[in-house]
Amino acid sequence: MEQHIGLVTRGINNIYSVKEGDASYLCRIKGKQLLTVVGEYNPIAVGDRVSFVISGTYEGLIISRLERSNCFQRWNIKGQCNQTVVANMDMIVCVCSADTPPFRPRFIDRVIACCQDVPVMLVMNKSDILLTEDEFERFALFKKLGYPIIGVSAKTGENLEDLCSLLKGKTVAFVGQSGVGKSTLINRILSVEQKTNEVSAKYNRGKHTTNCSLMIEGPDFTLVDTPGVREILVPHGNPHKIAESFPEFREPSKKCAFDHCLHNDEPDCQVKVLVEKGKIHPDRYESYLRMLASLDDRSPQWMGKSQQSKTRYKSMENDEREEY
Ligand SMILES: Nc1nc2c(ncn2[C@@H]2O[C@H](COP(=O)(O)OP(=O)(O)OP(=O)(O)O)[C@@H](O)[C@H]2O)c(=O)[nH]1
Ligand SMILES: [Zn+2]
């Protein structure tokens, strides 16, 4: 059978929309091969390129996933494994807001740590609502650390043209806490109100809540709206990757006494020295330590299933959803 190559634009309950040229196919995964990708919640994510065969009118079977250039991955508590939210993006846009939901800089730190080989930009939506002075200082710190930041308002339209020029020519995923305004922003900058409403009516359980990632192509850029979450946990993996997502640790860590210092309990740690001197923001350091600790909290592999689920629900504080 002839194999086609397509782009995954939506995935829900193991049914994927795969686009090839102007045609879109609803695809399932062929057999069990891909379903057993070890240690992953979902073998395929929005943004993946896949090979597939056509099995019916605009229907197909996915044979394999092509190699990814990058991805955005988080820890899925329910599944106790890593979940890929999107793959092969030019940039991840972390959307946040000053209020409703409140500004949570540690959430942004975690989003950055979830990005695997993909650059991040921070968008403060609802700029019609003001941050407190302390919040502003913590947000502005991201700029000093090298992340592009921009304040916009989907409501008043402030700075939306500037945002669009930063997105030009790119395929970008919007991630962030539930309610920060990702969908409102996307609707406004792509003028796709109708399209997303259609999707909402069909797939949403709650009101105005995105619960599956969806890729929307615009004339100047392509955006992926992702489900908002209340919590985000860093993926399981090498803890040094977390340290690498803190650019202010890079230089001092070269002078730590231990080659593989995790800047936690180790003696003669230069990162800790800079925290004590006030040169590294104490809240960023605290945020880092919590991410490290969250890796330790996870159920060890040897734990029995029933024991695992008890631990899982005890520590479950986020609104996990089944979709990707
Ligand atoms: N004041 C103000 N409110 C906004 C702005 N943008 C969006 N909102 C409001 O914020 C609420 C949440 O917006 P959504 O676009 O649904 O948020 P979301 O991030 O997509 O939420 P999830 O789908 O749960 O992830 C809505 O009531 C919007 O009207 C803004 O710039 N200013
Ligand atoms: Zn150290």
Mean pLDDT computed over 265-269: 96
Going from the C-alpha of 56 to that of each of 7, 9, 14, the distances in angstroms are: 18, 19, 17
Per-residue model confidence (pLDDT) at position 218: 92
Backbone angles phi, psi at 137, to 5 degrees: -60, -45
**How many percent of the chain have pLDDT more than 70?**
84
Mean pLDDT computed over 20-31: 93
Angle at 226 between CA 73 and CA 63, to 5 degrees: 65
Residue nearest to atom 7 of ligand 1 (CA): 181
Residue nearest to atom 21 of ligand 1 (CA): 179
Among 225, 250, 271, give the residue marking a domain's end: 225
Cβ contact 94:108 at 8 Å = yes
Which tokens belong to 192?
A: 């796709």
In a domain, 73, yes or no: no
Please give the tally of structural domains in the chain.
3
User: Do 135 and 214 belong together in one domain?
Assistant: yes
Per-residue model confidence (pLDDT) at position 35: 61
User: Do 163 and 196 belong together in one domain?
Assistant: yes
In a domain, 316, yes or no: no
Collect contacts of 65-70 with beta carbons under 8 A, ≥24 apart.
Answer: 65/34, 66/5, 69/117, 70/115, 70/116, 70/117, 70/118
User: Do 220 and 258 belong together in one domain?
Assistant: no
Q: Domain range holding 18?
A: 3-67
Residue nearest to atom 13 of ligand 1 (CA): 181
User: Do 59 and 99 belong together in one domain?
Assistant: no
In a domain, 72, yes or no: no
**Dist. CA 305–CA 319, nearest whole Å:** 21
User: Do 177 and 138 belong together in one domain?
Assistant: yes
In a domain, 51, yes or no: yes
In a domain, 323, yes or no: no
Prediction pTM value: 0.88
CATH at 271: 1.10.40.50
Among 203, 225, 247, give the residue marking a domain's end: 225
In a domain, 305, yes or no: no
User: Do 96 and 221 belong together in one domain?
Assistant: yes
In a domain, 120, yes or no: yes
- Ligand 1 near 273 CB (within 6 A): no
Per-residue model confidence (pLDDT) at position 40: 80
User: Do 99 and 205 belong together in one domain?
Assistant: yes
User: Do 115 and 139 belong together in one domain?
Assistant: yes
Per-residue model confidence (pLDDT) at position 313: 34
Name residue, tokens 């979902």: 42
The DSSP 8-state label assigned to residue 268 in this structure reads S
User: Do 243 and 221 belong together in one domain?
Assistant: no
**What type of residue sits at position 66?**
L
181 is in an annotated binding site: yes
Per-residue model confidence (pLDDT) at position 208: 41
Enumerate helices (H) and strands (E) in the chain, giving the number of each: 10, 14
CATH at 59: 2.40.50.140
31-35, 51-55, 115-119, 202-206, range with the lowest pLDDT: 202-206
Per-residue model confidence (pLDDT) at position 287: 97
Q: Probe ligand 1: pick from 150, 155, 184, 196, max atoms within 8 Å of CB?
A: 184
- pLDDT reading at 210 higher than 80: no
User: Do 135 and 199 belong together in one domain?
Assistant: yes
User: Do 122 and 180 belong together in one domain?
Assistant: yes
